[in-house]
Amino acid sequence: MILKRLLFIMICPFIFGQLSINGAIKPMIMFNISDQDQMNLPFRFAQLRMGYTIGDFDLLINSALEHRWGENQSSNFILREAYATWFPSWGEIKFGRQIHAWGVADGNNPTDNLNPYDFYYMFMQGADRKIGSLSLSVISYWNNWQLEGVIIPSHVSNRLPFNEPEFPFQIPIEPTEYEDRDNSLEYGLQLKTVIGETDIGISYFDGYDRSFSLLGIDTFNIIQVSPKFGYRSTSAIGLNMVTFIKDFTIRVESALFNTINDYEAKWYNYLDAKADYVQYVIQVEYRMKSSNTIGAQIIGNNVLKASGNTLDLPNMYMTTLNTNNFVPGMGTPFAMISNKSLLVIGSNRFFDDDLELNYNLLFNMENPGQLFGLSLEYLLSDDWFINVSASYFIGNNDPINRFEQLEDYSNTQFQLSYTF
């Protein structure tokens, strides 16, 4: 009897619902251009996505197997998303570990701050470089209007590559602990509509930085110094727009951030940092006659004002925080590389669309620095692809120039993909 019941429970989903399983296996190998040595950074070897639909409900599990080659060869199972969605007639409600995507520009979205970034994948596109976080999302549709509210009960930070010599940026300090908060609830609201032929959206997010900051130092005596790390409180007001002018598509996105160290001032040296900064992306894209595309983005990060104290790390003394030494803890990762950059992206197809060439050129508009990226994807069959790509960074011999730091990260990648 119990066996029959168990069998009935197991069979039920297949009778009344719809199960879908798809995924990809993508072995990849990466070489450093300068010395042709293999780079053993982690990558997603396999991805599996399972969906189950019954009535107005969906369940989705999105997982990946992360693998690292080399001496420290290892594999980790990562549950990237696991959430349920209810689709009432007026919209959708999602709950669980999920990745959100706000903003209208491609890849670089200052208004998209709901999820932390996985910096091991910072040069990937879209949701691939984000980390899922437990949240509740409610979207309501009404004619041309769309209102979305997101609540994240507990703050999740970026995944940063500590002690990773092959990663382009070396993080000087790995905090052993972070200052706790009694309540780290975050929330966001987004309103979108269509006016004429233009899509317009405004958003607001209130939460905590995704990258850590030094908040204060407790000094017991001249030898015992205890740095205090944590996440500043940050809010962002966003604005985005998509419009069309003749054959050009214009996507504009901007966010004004306000950040403050609002931890209780209980340490010997409290760094009462406070700043306003703005990040923006202006994207113009053009589709050529042959369906090939070319687009450009201007990505900007501008610190409007900064006040309070900070620590001059190389010299270890307290100094005034200003617009030059302030480091944002939230926003688009590309703003970390440059305060103003021009990104040119294009794609062309050859050999009856079997071969796709994607290229991207990033120019630092304030200091010397360029990135040249090239990717060739060849379609072997409906399910098999082969991809060869290269990224080449050029700096200016200045050790604090981000592009100079990225020079050693210049690499070639070879990947075989099978999707099912």
Partner 1 sequence: MKNIFIIFTSILSIIYAQNGLEIATMVDNREVPKDIISKTTMLLTNRKEKTRNSTILSKSSNNGSKQILWFLAPSDDKGVAFLKIEHDNKSDEMRMWLPAFKKVRRISSSKKGDSFMGSDLSYEDMTSRSLEENRYKRLEDETLDGKDCFVLEVLPNDDIKSTYSKHITWIDKGSLIAVKEESYDLGGGLRKKKKFFFESISGYDVINKIFVEDIQKNHTTTLTMEDIKVDSGLDQSLFQEKNLKRLPSN
If one asks whether residue 92 binds partner 1 (CB under 8 A), the answer comes out as yes
For residues 292 to 331, the per-residue mask of contacts with partner 1, x marking binding by CB under 8 A and - elsewhere, is ----------------------------------------
If one asks whether residue 22 binds partner 1 (CB under 8 A), the answer comes out as yes
Of the candidate residues 146, 193, 309, 358, the single one contacting partner 1 (CB under 8 A): 146
DSSP string, 228-275: EEE--EEEEEEEEEEEEETTEEEEEEEEEEEEE--S---SSEE---EE
If one asks whether residue 14 binds partner 1 (CB under 8 A), the answer comes out as no
Going by the DSSP 8-state scheme, the letter that residue 81 receives in this structure is: E
Q: Which stretch binds partner 1 (CB under 8 A): 157-165, 211-219, 323-331, 352-360?
A: 352-360
Q: Which stretch binds partner 1 (CB under 8 A): 27-35, 196-204, 217-225, 230-238?
A: 196-204
Going by the DSSP 8-state scheme, the letter that residue 168 receives in this structure is: S
According to DSSP, the residues that pair with 310 across neighbouring strands are 319
If one asks whether residue 199 binds partner 1 (CB under 8 A), the answer comes out as yes
Nearer to partner 1, 264 or 382 (CB): 382
Smallest separation, CB 388 to partner 1 (Å): 18
Nearer to partner 1, 6 or 195 (CB): 195
If one asks whether residue 281 binds partner 1 (CB under 8 A), the answer comes out as no
d(CA 315, CA 327) in angstroms, rounded, equals: 17
Identify which of 265, 211, 218 has the alpha carbon closest to the alpha carbon of residue 234.
211
Residue 337, SS3 per DSSP: helix
If one asks whether residue 131 binds partner 1 (CB under 8 A), the answer comes out as no
Of the candidate residues 6, 8, 14, 20, the single one contacting partner 1 (CB under 8 A): 20
Residue 287 identity: R
d(CA 68, CA 28) in angstroms, rounded, equals: 10
Smallest separation, CB 4 to partner 1 (Å): 27
Q: Which stretch binds partner 1 (CB under 8 A): 224-232, 246-254, 260-268, 269-277?
A: 246-254
Nearer to partner 1, 228 or 251 (CB): 251
Of the candidate residues 89, 163, 221, 224, the single one contacting partner 1 (CB under 8 A): 89
Identify which of 38, 42, 70 has the alpha carbon closest to the alpha carbon of residue 159.
42
Nearer to partner 1, 77 or 244 (CB): 244
Could you identify the residue written with the tokens 């005034």? 320
d(CA 240, CA 250) in angstroms, rounded, equals: 11
DSSP string, 65-76: EEEE-STT-EEE
d(CA 250, CA 256) in angstroms, rounded, equals: 20
If one asks whether residue 404 binds partner 1 (CB under 8 A), the answer comes out as no
If one asks whether residue 87 binds partner 1 (CB under 8 A), the answer comes out as yes
d(CA 359, CA 345) in angstroms, rounded, equals: 6
Of the candidate residues 80, 100, 210, 228, the single one contacting partner 1 (CB under 8 A): 100
- Give the distance, in angstroms, between the CA of residue 303 and the centroid of all CA atoms in the same chain: 21
Smallest separation, CB 12 to partner 1 (Å): 16
DSSP string, 381-415: SSSEEEEEEEEEEE--S-TT-HHHHHHTT-EEEEE
If one asks whether residue 118 binds partner 1 (CB under 8 A), the answer comes out as no
Residue 346 identity: G
Going by the DSSP 8-state scheme, the letter that residue 119 receives in this structure is: G
If one asks whether residue 352 binds partner 1 (CB under 8 A), the answer comes out as yes
Q: Compute the C-alpha angle 85/201/328, nearest 5°.
A: 90
Q: Which stretch binds partner 1 (CB under 8 A): 98-106, 261-269, 296-304, 388-396?
A: 98-106
For residues 164 to 183, the per-residue mask of contacts with partner 1, x marking binding by CB under 8 A and - elsewhere, is --------------------
d(CA 142, CA 196) in angstroms, rounded, equals: 16
Q: Which stretch binds partner 1 (CB under 8 A): 16-24, 221-229, 260-268, 408-416?
A: 16-24
Which element (helix H / strand E) includes 335? Answer: helix 334-337
If one asks whether residue 353 binds partner 1 (CB under 8 A), the answer comes out as yes
146 touches 191 (CB < 8 A) = yes
Of the candidate residues 30, 122, 242, 343, the single one contacting partner 1 (CB under 8 A): 242
Nearer to partner 1, 107 or 395 (CB): 107
Summarize as ranges the residues that interact with partner 1 (CB under 8 A). Answer: 18, 20, 22, 24, 53, 58, 85, 87, 89, 91-92, 99-101, 104, 125-128, 139, 141, 146, 194, 196-197, 199, 242, 244, 246-247, 249, 287, 289, 291, 352-354, 379, 382-383, 385, 419-420
